């Protein structure tokens, strides 16, 4: 894990997925503490740090979900899960965001189909077919 500090609160990561996750985490108000032991996250400047320091950003996000105060973290769990997925991905656009976009488009198609009016009711196919009995 190669991390470089810059004057802003967001660290620079070598991997694109980690950097995308870090930017999203920062937009959620998550603060990073990066030291030689690893990465720790906290909710806001005065939040409680995750323990112990994690080796990867994905592990730090998972710790943040599990250790964070539920009232603060639960509202952002989908975004936090996306951060963990992006951090685990080499190409977050193709592997994570494109998959999310496809799922949203598929969900829209299903919602449109469900909302479409039924023109003609389908014929009733519940027929009773009698079969000859075998002599026993």
How confident is the model over 54-88, as pLDDT tens digits? 999 999 999 998 887 665 677 788 888 888 999 99
- Whether residue 102 lies inside any domain: the answer is no
Integer Rg of the chain from CA: 25
Q: Residue 124 falls within a domain, yes or no?
A: no
At 32, is the secondary structure helix, strand, or coil? strand
Residue 6 has pLDDT above 50, yes or no: no
- In this prediction, residue 53 has a pLDDT band, given cuts at 50, 70 and 90, of very high
Domain that holds residue 24: 3-95
Q: Domain count for the chain, please give it.
A: 1
Please check whether residue 55 lies inside any domain of the structure.
Answer: yes
Tokens of 109: 């198609």
Helices (H), the chain: 16-27, 57-67, 70-73, 77-88, 92, 98-115
- Rounded to a whole number of angstroms, the distance between the first and last alpha carbons of the chain is 77
User: Span 25-53, mean pLDDT?
Assistant: 89
Q: Is 15 helix (H, G, I), strand (E, B) or coil?
A: coil
pTM score: 0.67
| Cα–Cα distance for residue pair 86/108, rounded to 1 Å | 24
- 76-120 per-position pLDDT tens digit: 888 888 889 999 988 888 888 888 888 889 999 888 888 877 776
Residue 33 lies in a domain: yes
Q: How far apart are CA 127 and CA 103, in angstroms?
A: 38
Residue 136 within any structural domain of the chain: no
Higher pLDDT, 71 or 48: 48
């Amino acid at each position: 894990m190669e991390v470089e500090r810059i004057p802003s609160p967001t660290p620079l990561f070598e991997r694109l997925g980690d950097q995308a996750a870090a930017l999203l985490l920062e937009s959620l108000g998550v603060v990073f503490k990066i030291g030689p032991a690893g990465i720790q996250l906290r909710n806001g400047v005065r939040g409680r740090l995750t323990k112990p320091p994690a080796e990867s950003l994905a592990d730090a996000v998972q710790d943040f979900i599990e250790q964070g105060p539920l009232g603060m973290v639960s509202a952002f769990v989908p975004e936090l899960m996306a951060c963990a997925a992006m951090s685990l991905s080499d190409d977050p656009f193709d592997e994570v965001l494109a998959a999310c976009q496809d799922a949203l488009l598929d969900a829209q198609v299903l919602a449109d189909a469900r909302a479409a009016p039924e023109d003609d009711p389908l014929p009733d196919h519940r027929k009773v077919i009698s079969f000859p009995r075998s002599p026993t």
